[in-house]
Structure 1
């Protein structure tokens, strides 16, 4: 076997890149589903006369399940394999989209889009990228993580214009059918290309100098997910990472994707113009996340996180000063800078999870991602309450700027060389049976 493996060590054609590419396509398609609740609001209200609250409920349930499904999905990949879970998740989101086209009640929208699509997209979240990276790559992990993490935003950019045009030209149902067909089109590709581990095809992980046997399947996925969480909560790094990621969620999609357009409108900017600025943020998201992955391979992840949060906080402070009715140079600068920083936190957090939790890092990252979603949901709700209370979003931007400063300090508080107390926590984690 060693001769065969040695013969296949040409990194340029390594199967790992094909596995990562197909996983990325699946993540892109899943990202497209997250764009739909926003552009479905008006068509659903016009046809069914539902309130915005009832429509938003489905989106909220979807967001929560997206966060809570991720850690269980990571454990299920260890139990049943990447390929099976990706195929099942793609089938789930396709079914949810198709069934939504025949709904006639708001509770059905919550059930189909909130629960069914939420479960499917949660299984195709960043934990999929983390699992693929951990298994198939020994080097370039930060770069690959950055590329795969940008997939969900790329999906929004690729599909949103076409979906919006379809709804405006035809109806909302053809848009959902198009999404379902996209998911079904990726399914056979995932089945044919995805493999669980390089050892399945007699290969080493990309960049590895040794052959690594495939680990045995881990039974009891749900139980293991809870055990990993319970063990991780006994360690300081978990709480520091979860805290920073909760602030990350609050200061990005929690506030920006929900309240940036209304805040800009308060200053006289048309909503369509504000939406275009958000789209530009999404474009620079991709660049920033990939660049952050590249940097994570070369720079201390803790220092990167601290720098990202500090810069994001400065941008938040500047926002009340640059908001105007028209697009000006300072606003363009904000859009570019915020886009570069928006998802840049993901690769360093994944790298730190890998450092502290090894084989369980994908599950631990899934739980920190759940904290991210909780932070996002909290900011989305409290941002609206603050606007109603103060008549302005200015207190919101300042509060989030202070939170980002706190997140920078939390990032620097993470110790790569544990103190005696932290070493005791790590020994408890290792002896709990959660590691493999």
Structure 2
């Protein structure tokens, strides 16, 4: 007797017997998460300079220009160290460089507690914290993104950029309360401890390359072996600069990013709190507004990364800079003793635009400079910080000379308009990974 079977029943039974397929999360997302937490935790040191201007002026009698000079040194070294740090990561690994940088930051912030002269502020906060923070700059995020991701690079660079900028601003309410209630020294120690607390996470959880754990970069078709350590980190950084400097897009990217730094870190982050205080707003309220900038920066930068994967990066940059310039022209009319709806609108808008420029700028570096894109981006970031440093100093000087910040807001708005035009001039590059053509 022949037994008949139903093919549909057999298939159903086989499906019930087969184990359910488990969805595995790629290791690259865990590395990105550790990098995100590391950047957030280390960002406390970027929050404090704007809160130190008035306390140091009152305690030591130092001029705002003198204090701004120390902040300028910090910002300049933050940028100038970045390309060398990216090359050092290729030589010694991400974990070692980042752990050493966090330790230097903690040391520099802690030593400021005992300072009594301006040169000590320049040494501790300007030199030590500047060098350490430069190694934790966006070149760190670019290196992680380039090594661990082939797909979703725009989105990931947006997320990690949001961590850098938002971490700086989210700490502001806590640090401003500490400064007002207990003085600036406990706030400096808080920064030192925050940087030191991140070191174990970096050392235990971060990995230098997908090959270290037998993985392919996310989106890669083939396994990518770990490259040999690249000797001569300083020479490589300078060689990448020499090559990129012979191309027009580098100077346009450097120029636009210098204006980006001038209008964010140098201007708003350093001088918004004292400028609002000049108009009668409490320091804690002004610092809380900057924290709101940090919250909305997360959404704005992640959205910018998503747009960068789909739209022309140079056009995105032009839109971002144009809108930022318009908003700065209105800021002098919005400053008042109390927080009101138009000021909240400005803060939300500026938060969405704060570092939305980073994902398209990084994409253009990859488009034009291929394997050296992280180092070239480090040099572009150096221009960002030079712009920030100049405005951090000139903003304080303008306040001393004119008695207000109005001229600084208007000048920065005009610079942003120029950056929008520069972004539109950037030509399309060769496909990612191929050498740039001079």
TM-score, length of structure 2 as denominator length: 0.85
| Cα-Cα RMSD | 2.7
Q: Which has the larger radius of gyration?
A: 2
Alpha-carbon distance between aligned partners in 2 of 1:300 and 1:141, rounded to the nearest angstrom: 15
Helix, strand or coil at the partner of 1:129: helix
Q: 1:287 aligns with which of 290, 293, 299?
A: 299
Alpha-carbon distance between aligned partners in 1 of 2:183 and 2:273, rounded to the nearest angstrom: 24
Q: Which residue of 1 aligns with 2:425?
A: 413
Q: For residues 259-408 of structure 1, what are the structure 2 equivalents within 5 Å?
A: 259-264=271-276, 269-384=281-396, 386=398, 393-408=405-420
Cα deviation, residue 44, structure 1: 4.7
Alpha-carbon distance between aligned partners in 1 of 2:39 and 2:208, rounded to the nearest angstrom: 17
Q: Which residue of 2 aligns with 1:432?
A: none
Cα 1:44–1:253 change in 2 (3 A) is: closer
* Worse-superposed segment, 91-100 or 58-67: 91-100
Cα deviation, residue 33, structure 1: 0.6
Alpha-carbon distance between aligned partners in 2 of 1:100 and 1:152, rounded to the nearest angstrom: 23
The answer as to whether partners of 1:11 and 1:206 remain within 8 angstroms in 2 is no
Q: Which residue of 2 aligns with 1:28?
A: 40
Q: Which residue of 1 aligns with 2:14?
A: none
Alpha-carbon distance between aligned partners in 2 of 1:10 and 1:57, rounded to the nearest angstrom: 56
Alpha-carbon distance between aligned partners in 2 of 1:44 and 1:383, rounded to the nearest angstrom: 17
Alpha-carbon distance between aligned partners in 2 of 1:13 and 1:324, rounded to the nearest angstrom: 49
* Worse-superposed segment, 169-178 or 54-63: 169-178
The answer as to whether partners of 1:29 and 1:152 remain within 8 angstroms in 2 is no
Q: 1:116 aligns with which of 114, 128, 132?
A: 128
Q: Which residue of 1 aligns with 2:12?
A: none
The answer as to whether partners of 2:75 and 2:385 remain within 8 angstroms in 1 is yes
Matched, 1:208 2:220: yes
Cα deviation, residue 356, structure 1: 0.9
Q: Which residue of 2 aligns with 1:37?
A: 49
Cα 1:155–1:417 change in 2 (3 A) is: closer
Matched, 1:224 2:236: yes
Alpha-carbon distance between aligned partners in 1 of 2:189 and 2:293, rounded to the nearest angstrom: 28
Alpha-carbon distance between aligned partners in 1 of 2:231 and 2:389, rounded to the nearest angstrom: 33
Structure 1 residue runs of 5 or longer lacking an equivalent are 1-8, 419-424, 429-436
Cα 1:331–1:52 change in 2 (3 A) is: closer
Q: Which residue of 1 aligns with 2:436?
A: 426
Cα 1:337–1:159 change in 2 (3 A) is: closer
Cα 1:57–1:272 change in 2 (3 A) is: same
Q: For residues 115-264 of structure 1, what are the structure 2 equivalents within 5 Å?
A: 115-170=127-182, 172-264=184-276
Cα deviation, residue 297, structure 1: 1.5
The answer as to whether partners of 2:173 and 2:291 remain within 8 angstroms in 1 is no
Cα deviation, residue 277, structure 1: 2.5
Structure 2 residue runs of 5 or longer lacking an equivalent are 1-20
Cα deviation, residue 54, structure 1: 4.4
CA deviations on 1:410-431 (whole Å, 9 max, x unpaired) are: 111111157xxxxxx9346xxx
CA deviations on 1:395-418 (whole Å, 9 max, x unpaired) are: 443433332222112111111157
CA deviations on 1:165-223 (whole Å, 9 max, x unpaired) are: 44445454444444333333322221122222111211100122221111222110011
Alpha-carbon distance between aligned partners in 1 of 2:336 and 2:279, rounded to the nearest angstrom: 5
Helix, strand or coil at the partner of 1:139: coil
TM-score, length of structure 1 as denominator length: 0.86
Cα deviation, residue 88, structure 1: 1.0
The answer as to whether partners of 1:254 and 1:380 remain within 8 angstroms in 2 is yes
Alpha-carbon distance between aligned partners in 2 of 1:287 and 1:139, rounded to the nearest angstrom: 20
Cα 1:201–1:75 change in 2 (3 A) is: same
CA deviations on 1:366-421 (whole Å, 9 max, x unpaired) are: 11111111222223344455556666654443433332222112111111157xxx
- For these two proteins, the number of residue pairs brought into alignment is 414
Q: 1:86 aligns with which of 83, 87, 98?
A: 98
* Worse-superposed segment, 343-352 or 173-182: 173-182
Alpha-carbon distance between aligned partners in 1 of 2:437 and 2:262, rounded to the nearest angstrom: 32
* Worse-superposed segment, 52-61 or 220-229: 52-61
Cα deviation, residue 86, structure 1: 1.0
The answer as to whether partners of 1:32 and 1:152 remain within 8 angstroms in 2 is no
The answer as to whether partners of 1:26 and 1:124 remain within 8 angstroms in 2 is no
Alpha-carbon distance between aligned partners in 1 of 2:409 and 2:61, rounded to the nearest angstrom: 34
